[in-house]
Amino acid sequence: MWGNGKKTLATLLSAIMIAGTILQTSAGAGENIKNKQRKVALDDVMVTAEKQEMQDKDIAGSISVVDSLVLDEHNIRTTEEMTRVVPNLFFKTATSGDAFVSRGISTIDTSLYSPMGFYINDVAYPLSYMQAQALFDIERIEVLRGPRSTLYGKNSSSGVINMVSTPQGNTARAHVLLEAGAYNTFTTGAMIGGPILEDTLFYTFSALRRVTDGYMENQFLGTDEASDDQRFSGQASLRYTPNSDLDITLTLDGSDQDKGLDDLRYLDGASATHPYKVLNNQVSSSEQKNLGQSMHVKYTFDNLDLVSVTSHQDFDRNHIMDSDRTSSPLGVSCIDLDRESWAQEFRLSSSSGGFFSSWLLGAYASNENIDHDWELKHAMPALANRRLSESDADGIALFGQASRPLTQRLTATAGLRVDHSSASGSQAYTRSTGTTLYAEDLSDTELLPMASLSWEFTPSTTGYLTFSTGWMAGGYDYYSATSRENFAYGPEYTRNYEAGIKTSFFNNRIRANLSVFHTDIDDKQIREEVLGGGIGAWKITNAAGAHTQGVELEVKALPAHNIEIFAGLGYAKAEIDEWIGTLDGAAMNYSGYVLPWAPDLTANAGISYTHDSGWYGTAGIFLAGEQYFDAANTLKDEGYALVNLKAGYRWDRYDISIWCKNLFDEKYAQKKVKTQGNTLVEDGEPMTLGVTLNWRW
């Protein structure tokens, strides 16, 4: 399969170059003098992922920016689809929890948290369940690869994703989206925004509704809605600027999702089925709700900016799942998760020159409370159990970062964060033999430095060297703990060494960014068998050391004003350096094995063309290399290639298009897991077709 993918990539790349040449020639031949004089150049990209506004080329690190135009051209509707245009970023989609995987750094399958920080308008969304977002009215998504804990703190040990909504202003605007696709999929979106009082008070309201039957069929229950998904999300914001110095934005956002979870099917054994078919006797489903409020205040005085970000979130998830994934009524597992969090951050920054070309100082405080109820109801009372857990965590941090020109071309940047986290947790573990109570406190104080050097070879070419650190906070095992000894686990640490170059050619018509990196991972959080504990006895420990190293390349070109060619390549070799664990009751040395949940290669390439008459089209391919789903590297996906096409027409305020995702109906696995000697697999999405209508004002 992967061999076919490589051939497909080579063919598509050749076709892209030929098409680009032909289209450029034909476009040039048909242009009038006005068009020939039209400027053709890639726009400068302004970002805020470093918590100060700057151009992406000035960041001494690997960054990708996916703006609203890219989201529209590729018909990207979710965060999972967004990762397919960003090298070395992958989205793990699984019934046990979604998560971003950057540069091969993944997390344990049942972890509530992701090592990739995820922020929407400066507000953290740390739970893996919260990171599968629907995308609508987004100005840009900034992806910083490599540890970013100096500025962002815990749980940003592999990078940070910063998502920015379209800002309000004096220009009134509106957008209506209507979309229909395969498997009875319908999406409706609406946005309206503009001034209430010019230059002073502005509003934005947006809402998105998506329903689908999904592509899984439960043959035992006779339903083709085994993976149905009904989701509503909305956001309302009010911006107040009484003068040129003060800017206040209040935001209310929320989502409500009901989703079928009958995605895992057996590859072998008596319950084996064909792709996209299951035989569960119990309907598996989840309901997930999130409600958040935030206030962003910016005050400018003299040459300083003072920023305050206050946020509160309530998140609830309930799900019921067929525990054995067969037609036999053996048991179900039920989860009830409630999370409430508060966070406050203050930042003071300047970029006015002086001894430092720019600097930033900040303080951060947070509180998080989680109530977690996990129960296995089983036909055999001896196997039934329940874990009622509660945890309360506090965090406080001081951080700073500054840049200093050493020469006319050489700039040094250094930063440091002091991050303190404390938590208390308890669990009541109930079996047929009785209830066991235990509790554990956690406390960690981390120093998280970073340093970089940037050298401007020419005005259009900059090189950099960067050292950065990250940490993934310790936590509690809500699912498999049996005693105080295995209820809690400690932090995981990353140290990253990176070199890169950012350049542009031909009057900024071609832009290319290249980076190479090596990241050491200490005290890796892993899930392993409890020696002598029997079937299903697991624990989470900090038993492993690992590393990942690789390369990233992004290229974007404008051969003509209406043609864009793009390509990205990410390679990450993530290996275990040291880990002596247990497999099937015997000692196992995992050293040299590949970390699971991380494809070694991600790549994308394609071309977009817009004719002056209004017709347009986009063709692209996404490649994922081989990945493993277990530490012993026995469960594997060989890799796959997804080809996507879109064609449409724009006129006045309207835009209508038809599209196809996974054109060749590539079969691939999103998850594999062993249970009772058999293998379960979660199928990737098959070919889908659809039509989209946009109206913008």
Per-residue pLDDT tens over the stretch 279-321: 999 999 999 999 999 999 999 988 899 999 999 999 999 999 9
pLDDT beyond 80 at 683:
yes
CA dihedral sign, ordered 54, 58, 61, 63: positive
Residue 22: per-residue pLDDT? 37
CB burial of 419-456 (b: ≥16 within 10 Å; e: otherwise) equals bebebebbbebeeeeeeeebebebebebebebbbbbbe
Q: Which of 95-104, 226-235, 381-390, 604-613 has the lowest mean pLDDT?
A: 95-104
CA distance 3 to 214: 29
Greater model confidence, 357 or 464: 464
Q: Which two tokens stand for residue 225?
A: 């809605």
Q: Please state, for a pLDDT cut of 90, what percent of the chain lies above it.
A: 81
481-496 pLDDT tens trace: 999 999 999 999 999 9
Q: What's the CATH code, domain 2-696?
A: 2.40.170.20
Beta bridge partners of 143: 64, 161
The average pLDDT across 210-223 equals 95
415-460 pLDDT tens trace: 999 999 999 999 999 999 999 999 999 999 999 999 999 999 999 9
Residue 4: per-residue pLDDT? 43
Residue 476: per-residue pLDDT? 94
Output the average pLDDT for the chain.
91
Under 8 Å between Cβ of 519 and 495: yes
Residue 6: per-residue pLDDT? 45
The average pLDDT across 199-207 equals 97
Residue 35: per-residue pLDDT? 40
Residue 39: per-residue pLDDT? 57
Helix and strand numbers, DSSP H then E, in the chain: 5, 42
Residue 430: per-residue pLDDT? 96
Q: CB atoms < 10 A from the CB of 43, how many?
A: 9
The average pLDDT across 513-538 equals 84
pLDDT beyond 70 at 20:
no
Task: Report which of 233, 258, 316, 323 is spatially closest to residue 680, judged by C-alpha positions.
Answer: 323
Greater model confidence, 350 or 584: 350
Q: Please state, for a pLDDT cut of 70, what percent of the chain lies above it.
A: 93
Residue 527: per-residue pLDDT? 85
CA distance 231 to 259: 8
The average pLDDT across 103-107 equals 91
Residue 156: per-residue pLDDT? 95
- 492-505 and 563-578 strand pairing: unpaired
Given 3-state DSSP classes, what are the helix, strand and coil percentages for the chain, each rounded to the nearest 5? 10, 60, 30
Q: Which two tokens stand for residue 379?
A: 């036909």
Residue 530: per-residue pLDDT? 74
Q: Which residue has the tokens 């509106």?
A: 174
CA distance 679 to 75: 34
644-681 pLDDT tens trace: 999 999 999 999 999 999 999 999 999 998 887 899 99
pLDDT beyond 90 at 578:
yes
Q: Which of 20-34, 329-343, 597-611 has the lowest mean pLDDT?
A: 20-34
Residue 587: per-residue pLDDT? 84
The average pLDDT across 119-140 equals 93
Where do the domains of the chain lie?
A: 2-696
538-573 pLDDT tens trace: 888 898 899 999 999 999 999 999 999 999 999 999
CA dihedral 166, 168, 172, 177 (to 10 degrees): 30
The average pLDDT across 111-139 equals 92
CA distance 273 to 101: 29
Task: Please state the pTM of the whole predicted model.
Answer: 0.92
Q: Which of 97-101, 436-440, 484-488, 533-537 has the lowest mean pLDDT?
A: 533-537
Residue 536: per-residue pLDDT? 61
